Amino acid sequence: MLPKSPVYTDCFKEMGHDSVVKIEALPIDGPQRLRLIFESCNSPRPQGVWLRSDDSLLIDGQAFTTAEFWADAGKDHYDFTCKGSALWLYNIWLDGDARRSQAYSSGMLVQEVEGGRRYRCQDFGPDADFSRLVFRIVRRPEH
């Protein structure tokens, strides 16, 4: 079962980061048209974002409960519609051929921005480098 509110990690508290999000839980009020925008990627490993809805994510006319988007897949943004009561997300990366996530030292710094939120991600390691992946989730206008 996924949490009703964000899950925080205490891994970085000694470094002055006491609000690093491990799993984000965004409340959704009815179908919400969203855009995921990759702003930058500064990592030797491929970086991405895992998404989940308690109902569905509509992507290119197909419904999914989970989705992965990768910063190196050739697109700088992805449009989707989230149905349900929440959208969960966290950062992911590839280590060789294996998809990884949720390491002890992974997490996201979250910033409110116009129309949504910016996420600055650390994949793993002791250096607290939150520039590994930077992306935004923003609301798209209704047509």
Tell me: pLDDT of 138 over 90.
yes
| Alpha carbons 14 and 1: distance in angstroms, whole number | 30
Domain boundary assignment for the chain:
7-139
CB contact at 8 A, 55 and 63? no
> Any idea which of 17-21, 48-52, 106-110 has the lowest mean pLDDT?
17-21
Q: Can you read off the two tokens belonging to residue 35?
A: 């855009």
Tell me: pLDDT of 1 over 80.
no
Does domain 7-139 fall into CATH 2.40.160?
no
Q: What is the mean pLDDT of the chain?
A: 93
| Alpha carbons 38 and 15: distance in angstroms, whole number | 26
Is the pTM here over 0.85, yes or no? yes
CB contact at 8 A, 27 and 139? no
| Alpha carbons 129 and 143: distance in angstroms, whole number | 39
| Alpha carbons 5 and 42: distance in angstroms, whole number | 28
Q: For residue 5, how far is the Cα from the chain centroid?
A: 14
Percent of the chain with pLDDT over 90: 78
Residue 16: other Cβ atoms inside 10 A = 7
| Alpha carbons 114 and 102: distance in angstroms, whole number | 28
Tell me: pLDDT of 143 over 70.
no
| Alpha carbons 24 and 5: distance in angstroms, whole number | 7
Amino acid type, 80:
F
Amino acid type, 93:
W
pLDDT in tens, 82-125: 999 999 999 999 999 999 999 989 999 999 999 999 999 999 88
